[in-house]
Structure 1
């Protein structure tokens, strides 16, 4: 049986698909429409107020006609919004924008209302509804109609936000924050910390090429316990693996060898895909945010305000996320080890690409320095050291890139005033 982490990972994958919510709600609409006929067996006809013949059918036909048009319109608008998010921000963020629950709910309501009305019209034509069934179906139709009105009002708010760069940044930030908090609360996924595999371990290589999207530590623990061995995870989430790259190192008791089924089970604990995903990979979320800023700083866009917003988002994520404390109740796995994480590497990963593109944008580079100072003051010591060490590299690259001498002088002065290394005399 899959463990809770793998189920959570698969649930996140399903949630990122646009079809799942409309499909579930459409099935519920069919059950409600057909189940209304059961009311005739439970509710006496003389308990109900009179209902004009054909009223229910007319209402359902009107809903069917209008909901088909509304569903088509909403899907076309969402498709345009997703294309806008991909072109204005980055294509890597599109999957997260598609997973936005508000837009999914709106489409699901419209489609479910259409399915409900169609099934209701067909069922009414079969003559299976008595007085009680027609009354229940009529009440349900009114409820669905009110549901549609509320959903449409919310959909107007969705349309005012979705596809905008600010909405995309906020969406990526939320996903990255969740992944970062999970990584800090459960460091190493509950495995032991070890720099390398123990003596006598044998490598288990990947069967295909791609990026590691998920590592099922609990499945590795169960496998190692059954084999009475130890597993050292070599491929971290986000790493590129190939048939000659070790996924893990497996150490078994002397004279023991793992069978092919056990090796296949070990490989199945690593979910490998063509691209990285944010669910367990907060570093990839920071990379996606950096891509949004790089596109904003390109000559074709020239939007330094968006780049500054991204810098604030990244630093906010690192300060808040790395301040989390490990959960003492998190499970620990004594037969699985993995190298320690390096949160200080997130600093260069997030801010260096932006600074590289900001040579001609003095205000953006100034914000980079000020946010690095914020990291030094608020983040863990190792992250603060990495932020301080990044400053001379950024300034040296800007000087080699032909930055304006006056801008360079201002940046050095700002670095000196903030107490960052690299702000000395030039």
Structure 2
């Protein structure tokens, strides 16, 4: 799937209204069509489950169901507001997105909304002058079934939101998103691992700004390479997904080839998607920063939740282990003939480690447990790293962590425990 379509689908999934709106539209259509095809048999002991009352009792039943579902929907909305407030206060406002994109929560809200729409339209189709045989029996029975489903959905919703605000649950969900993004990045760039010599360029042919302000959400690398191949260009990118772009900021340079026309500039600008916020489509740092924010808030004096911070460190270690074994995004892109067409900045393993651990180390200086666990995870990463460059990045963080521990850990036994964890890895010659 193209990256811009994937980004669009991600934004739609992050909308709490999209799935409920679709379900409500479907239920409204069924409510209008079902009375036209009503094939309910007359009431007997063999079909006791069918509604057998007159038009007055049918309207009373539908009105009662409708008022009850509206009351339950109000309760669901109230619970949602409370949960979002708690999540924003304890975990950070950016993590509200993880609640909004939950498909099960969207389906529960959609079930309530679609049931209200179905009952309203069915109620309008039941007039006082209808006889018992002319009533939309199937629609009335379906309204009853949907109401019962809403009752059980409410119980499930309470269970779901109660678990969603548990720190370990949220940390696990964000970490799973991060690992999935790392896997997608490896699949996307698996055929661009070779490096080629970069020619010397005296003067660039053209410098292009996107004339937009916001976060870069998507860069269509394959499309840029195709355009460069067709026009005979060598392009250089100056930004990457997640970068905040100023309107006149230099974003793309044509290093070699013919000068791009106005239409070419418009086409090149169309290879970028700029939005108001960062998205996880191509931005590996997005989920890392979400996890880091949870840890920093947990280590704040007002919360002081060491266990949540340790859970974040463990999950970051698991994601970085996957990054060690994954294909890193390339800084060079070539066409099918091996001709260099695009130079791009990239987020290497060292940058991911910096993003993951720098702020947590700075915030956890007074917590020996956090520093010791971070040391364990970094030592484990050093053992599984695939290259000397990765090991050097991990060892650099271990050295920073040791200096921090020696400065801030006052208890000698705690410092001895820390040294017992990191000393063997730092004493090793591997990666020096």
The verdict on how the C-alpha distance between 1:81 and 1:46 changes in structure 2, with shifts beyond 3 A counting, is closer
| Distance in 2 separating the partners of 1:378 and 1:302 | 31
Q: Does the residue aligned with 1:420 lie in a helix, a strand or coil?
A: helix
**Is the contact between residue 164 and residue 170 of structure 2 (CA under 8 Å) also seen in structure 1?**
yes
| Distance in 1 separating the partners of 2:262 and 2:390 | 42
Q: 2:215 aligns with which of 208, 211, 215?
A: 211
- CA shift for structure 1 position 126: 8.6
The gaps in structure 1 that reach 5 residues or longer are none
1:261-300 equivalent positions in 2, closer than 5 A: 261-300=263-302
| Distance in 2 separating the partners of 1:191 and 1:277 | 25
The alignment's TM-score, normalised by the length of structure 1, stands at: 0.86
The verdict on how the C-alpha distance between 1:181 and 1:399 changes in structure 2, with shifts beyond 3 A counting, is same
Q: 1:120 aligns with which of 102, 119, 122?
A: 122
Q: 1:386 aligns with which of 390, 393, 401?
A: 393
Q: 2:238 aligns with which of 234, 250, 253?
A: 234
Aligned to 1:20: 18
Aligned to 2:93: 91
| Distance in 2 separating the partners of 1:13 and 1:224 | 29
Aligned to 2:373: 367
Q: Does the residue aligned with 1:275 lie in a helix, a strand or coil?
A: coil
Aligned to 2:409: 403
- CA shift for structure 1 position 398: 4.0
Aligned to 2:361: 355
| Distance in 2 separating the partners of 1:31 and 1:195 | 61
**Is the contact between residue 44 and residue 132 of structure 1 (CA under 8 Å) also seen in structure 2?**
no
**Is the contact between residue 298 and residue 304 of structure 2 (CA under 8 Å) also seen in structure 1?**
yes
Render the CA deviation track for 1:124-180: whole Å, top value 9, x for unaligned: 239799947612213322332343234223213213212232232123212212211
The verdict on how the C-alpha distance between 1:395 and 1:107 changes in structure 2, with shifts beyond 3 A counting, is same
**Is the contact between residue 242 and residue 283 of structure 2 (CA under 8 Å) also seen in structure 1?**
yes
Aligned to 2:348: 342
**Is the contact between residue 122 and residue 140 of structure 2 (CA under 8 Å) also seen in structure 1?**
no
The verdict on how the C-alpha distance between 1:244 and 1:396 changes in structure 2, with shifts beyond 3 A counting, is farther
| Distance in 1 separating the partners of 2:152 and 2:193 | 47
**Is the contact between residue 192 and residue 338 of structure 1 (CA under 8 Å) also seen in structure 2?**
no
| Distance in 2 separating the partners of 1:260 and 1:192 | 33
Q: Does the residue aligned with 2:251 lie in a helix, a strand or coil?
A: strand
- CA shift for structure 1 position 313: 0.8
| Distance in 1 separating the partners of 2:205 and 2:132 | 73
The verdict on how the C-alpha distance between 1:103 and 1:421 changes in structure 2, with shifts beyond 3 A counting, is farther
| Distance in 2 separating the partners of 1:128 and 1:21 | 35
- CA shift for structure 1 position 30: 0.3
**Is the contact between residue 188 and residue 341 of structure 1 (CA under 8 Å) also seen in structure 2?**
no
1:78-157 equivalent positions in 2, closer than 5 A: 78-125=80-127, 131=133, 134-157=136-159
| Distance in 2 separating the partners of 1:380 and 1:7 | 33
Q: Does the residue aligned with 1:419 lie in a helix, a strand or coil?
A: helix
The verdict on how the C-alpha distance between 1:189 and 1:208 changes in structure 2, with shifts beyond 3 A counting, is farther
| Distance in 1 separating the partners of 2:40 and 2:155 | 38
Render the CA deviation track for 1:32-57: whole Å, top value 9, x for unaligned: 110112215xx486799683213543
**Is the contact between residue 236 and residue 254 of structure 2 (CA under 8 Å) also seen in structure 1?**
yes
| Distance in 2 separating the partners of 1:198 and 1:146 | 72
| Distance in 1 separating the partners of 2:132 and 2:312 | 61
- CA shift for structure 1 position 59: 2.9
| Distance in 2 separating the partners of 1:350 and 1:109 | 39
Q: Does the residue aligned with 1:344 lie in a helix, a strand or coil?
A: helix
The gaps in structure 2 that reach 5 residues or longer are none
| Distance in 1 separating the partners of 2:229 and 2:89 | 49
| Distance in 2 separating the partners of 1:25 and 1:194 | 52
Q: Does the residue aligned with 1:249 lie in a helix, a strand or coil?
A: strand
| Distance in 2 separating the partners of 1:133 and 1:420 | 81
| Distance in 2 separating the partners of 1:188 and 1:144 | 48
Render the CA deviation track for 1:346-384: whole Å, top value 9, x for unaligned: 112111211212221111110010011111122332333
Q: Which moved more, 1:98-107 or 1:269-278?
A: 269-278
Render the CA deviation track for 1:274-304: whole Å, top value 9, x for unaligned: 4322221122211221111111111111111
- CA shift for structure 1 position 214: 1.3
| Distance in 1 separating the partners of 2:64 and 2:162 | 28
